[in-house]
Amino acid sequence: MSSFLRCWWWVFLLVAVGLGLWRLRFDVDVLDLLPPDERAVQGLKLYQQHFTDARELILTMRAPDAETAERLAGELAHFLRLQTNLVEDVTWQPPWMEHPEQLGELLGWLWFNQAPKDFDTLTNRLAADHLRSVLEQTKQVLATSMSPMDLARREFDPFDLLMMPALTNLTSFSGGQDQQMFASADGKFRVLYVESAVDLTGYHPCEGWLKAIRAVLDKLKSGQEKGAWKGVVVRYTGRPVFVREIASSMQRDMSHSVGATSVIIALLFWLVHRRLRPMLWLLALLMLIMGATLALGGLVLGTISVVSMGFAAVLLGLAVDYAVVHYQEALAHPQLSVPEIRRVIAPSILWAAITTTSAFLALNCSGLPGLGQLGTLVAIGIALSALVMVMIYLPPLFPERRKPRPNQPPLRWWNYFVAAREPTANESTGSIGHSGFALLLTGLILLGAGAVVCVRRPGIDRSGNALQPQHGEAQTAMEEMTTELGLPPQPLWLIVSGHDESEVYRRLTNAEELLDAAKDHRLIGRYLLPAALWPRAEYQGVNRKTAAILGTKGPQLRDAALAEGFNTNALVLTEELVRSWAQASDSAGVLWPTNHLSQWLLKRFVARTPKNDFVMGLVYPATHSAGDAALTDLSKHLAQDHALLSGWTLLGEATLKRVESRMWVVVMPMMALVLLSLLLAFRRAKEILLGGAVLGLSVICLLATMTLAGWSWNLMNLMALPLILGTGVDYTLFIQLALRRHGGDLAVVRRSVGRALILCGGTAVAGFGSLGFSSNPGMASLGRVCAVGIGANVLISVFLLPAWWTLYGSKFKVQSQ
Partner 1 sequence: MLPVLAVAVSHGASNEAEFDKWFAVQTNIQSWSADFIQTRSLRVLVQPLTTPGKVWVKPDEFRWELGQPVQTIVLRQPDQLLVIYPRLKRAEEYPLNAVPSGPFKDAFALLDASLPHDRATMERQFHLLSAEVTNSVLQMTLQPRSESGRKFIREIIIGFHTNDFTIATTEMRFADGSSLRNDLTNVVLNRPMDAKLFETNLPPDYTVAEPLRQ
Per CB under 8 A, contacts with partner 1 among 699-758 are: none
Q: Is 142 in the site for partner 1 (CB under 8 A)?
A: yes
The answer to whether the beta carbons of residues 86 and 555 sit under 8 Å apart is no
Q: Is 483 in the site for partner 1 (CB under 8 A)?
A: no
What single string gives the DSSP state of each residue in 365-410?
GSS-HHHHHHHHHHHHHHHHHHHHIIIIIHHHH-GGG-SPPTTSPP
Of positions 186, 218, 225, 538, contacts partner 1 by CB under 8 A:
186
Segment interacting with partner 1, rule: CB under 8 A, options 5-13, 142-150, 516-524, 596-604 = 142-150
To partner 1, the closest distance from the beta carbon of 167 in angstroms equals 13
To partner 1, the closest distance from the beta carbon of 445 in angstroms equals 60
Per CB under 8 A, contacts with partner 1 among 67-126 are: 67, 70
Of positions 406, 410, 565, 710, contacts partner 1 by CB under 8 A:
565
Q: Is 567 in the site for partner 1 (CB under 8 A)?
A: yes
How many whole angstroms separate alpha carbon 269 and alpha carbon 431?
A: 28
Closer residue to partner 1 (CB): 158 or 647: 158
Of positions 176, 259, 291, 448, contacts partner 1 by CB under 8 A:
176
Residue type, 666: V
The answer to whether the beta carbons of residues 741 and 344 sit under 8 Å apart is yes
Closer residue to partner 1 (CB): 144 or 335: 144
Segment interacting with partner 1, rule: CB under 8 A, options 143-151, 512-520, 539-547, 585-593 = 143-151
Segment interacting with partner 1, rule: CB under 8 A, options 181-189, 216-224, 740-748, 757-765 = 181-189
Contacts of residue 169, Cβ cutoff 8 Å, sequence gap at least 6: 530, 531, 532, 533
Of positions 2, 84, 85, 144, contacts partner 1 by CB under 8 A:
144
Closer residue to partner 1 (CB): 358 or 574: 574
Closer residue to partner 1 (CB): 155 or 195: 155
The answer to whether the beta carbons of residues 435 and 1 sit under 8 Å apart is no
To partner 1, the closest distance from the beta carbon of 217 in angstroms equals 24
Q: Is 621 helix (H, G, I), strand (E, B) or coil?
A: strand
How many whole angstroms separate alpha carbon 326 and alpha carbon 352?
A: 13
Of positions 66, 198, 272, 667, contacts partner 1 by CB under 8 A:
66
Total residues at interface with partner 1 (CB under 8 A): 28
How many whole angstroms separate alpha carbon 575 and alpha carbon 564?
A: 17
Q: Is 183 in the site for partner 1 (CB under 8 A)?
A: yes
Of positions 147, 201, 490, 594, contacts partner 1 by CB under 8 A:
147
How many whole angstroms separate alpha carbon 167 and alpha carbon 135?
A: 21
How many whole angstroms separate alpha carbon 69 and alpha carbon 793?
A: 58
> In Å, what is the CA distance from 86 to each residue of 399, 476, 732?
61, 25, 60
To partner 1, the closest distance from the beta carbon of 567 in angstroms equals 6
**Rounded to the nearest 5 degrees, what angle is found at the Cα of 522, between the Cα atoms of 518 and 527?**
60
To partner 1, the closest distance from the beta carbon of 237 in angstroms equals 23
Q: Is 158 helix (H, G, I), strand (E, B) or coil?
A: coil
The answer to whether the beta carbons of residues 470 and 307 sit under 8 Å apart is no
To partner 1, the closest distance from the beta carbon of 63 in angstroms equals 12
Q: Is 133 in the site for partner 1 (CB under 8 A)?
A: no
Closer residue to partner 1 (CB): 542 or 572: 572
Q: Is 143 in the site for partner 1 (CB under 8 A)?
A: yes
The answer to whether the beta carbons of residues 424 and 740 sit under 8 Å apart is yes
Q: What is the dihedral of CA 221, 224, 226, 232, to 10 degrees?
A: -60
Q: Is 228 in the site for partner 1 (CB under 8 A)?
A: no
Q: Is 88 helix (H, G, I), strand (E, B) or coil?
A: strand
Q: Which residues bind partner 1 (CB under 8 A)?
A: 66-67, 70, 139-140, 142-147, 149, 155-156, 158, 171-172, 176, 183-187, 565-567, 569-570
